[in-house]
Amino acid sequence: MEQREDKTTTTAADGGGGDVWGDDERTRGLEGAAVKRGEGNHTQEKAKQRKEDDGPRAVKVAMDVPLPGRGQCDVNIFLDRVDADNNSGDASDDEREDDNDHHDNEAGSAGQQKEQQGKPVHASADDHHRESLQQTDRPYIRVWSTFDSGNLQAVQAVEVPTRDNDMTLHLEAEVSPDILARASQRELKTWFYFKVTRLDPSRVHTLRVTLTNMTKQLRLYNQGLTPIVYRQHKGQQSGRWGRYCSSVDAELDDDGDFLLSFTYVVDDTHTRDSIVGFAFCYPFSYTECEHMLASYDKRFNHEASAADAGVYFHREVVCKSRDGRSVHLVTITANDDGLSVDQREPRIPPLFPDRNTKRPRVAPDRPVFFVSARVHPGETPASHVCNGIIDFVLNTEDARACALRSMFVFKIIPMLNPDGVARGHYRGDSHGLNLNRFYNNPCPTTHPSIFASKVLTSFYSQQQAGLAFYIDTHGHATKRGCFLYGNCLESARHIDNVTYAKLAELNSPHFDFGCCNFSEKNMFSKDKRDGLSKEGSGRVSEFRQRLAYQPEVDESEVGEYRIAIQMTILMNAPEKERLCT
Q: Which residues are catalytic?
A: 552
> For residue 575, how many C-alpha atoms fall within 13 Å in the half-sphere facing its CB?
24
Strands (E), 343-497: 368-373, 409-413, 467-476, 482-486
> What gap in Å lies between CA 501 and CA 498, rounded to an integer?
5
> What gap in Å lies between CA 61 and CA 39, rounded to an integer?
13
What are residue 102's phi and psi, to 5 degrees? -125, 135
What are residue 518's phi and psi, to 5 degrees? -120, 30
Residue type, 89: G
Residue type, 298: K
> What gap in Å lies between CA 212 and CA 189, rounded to an integer?
10
Residue 196, classified by CB atoms within 10 Å of its CB into exposed (0-12), middle (13-18) or buried (19+), is buried
Residue 187 DSSP code: T
Alpha helices in 394-465 (DSSP H): 399-407, 418-422, 448-461
Return the SS3 of 53: helix
Strands (E), 60-144: 74-81, 109-110, 120-124, 131-132, 140-144
Residue type, 8: T
Contacts 24+ apart (CB under 8 A), 305-314: 306/335, 307/335, 309/335, 309/396, 310/334, 310/335, 310/336, 310/396, 310/402, 310/405, 311/335, 311/394, 311/396, 311/405, 312/339, 312/360, 312/361, 312/405, 313/394, 314/360, 314/361
Task: Classify each residue of 458-483 as buried b or exposed e, where b means 16 or more C-beta atoms within 10 Å of its C-beta.
Answer: bebbebebbbbbbbbbbbbbebbbbb
Residue type, 512: D
Residue 533 DSSP code: B
Strands (E), 145-245: 154-159, 168-174, 193-197, 206-214, 228-232, 240-242
Cis bond before residue 350 (omega within 30° of 0): yes
CB proximity list for 501: less than 8 A, separation 6 or greater: 483, 484, 486, 511, 513, 516, 518, 565
Q: Give me the sign of the Cα torsion angle 515, 501, 224, 186.
A: negative
The total of other beta-carbon atoms located within 10 Å of residue 96's CB is 13
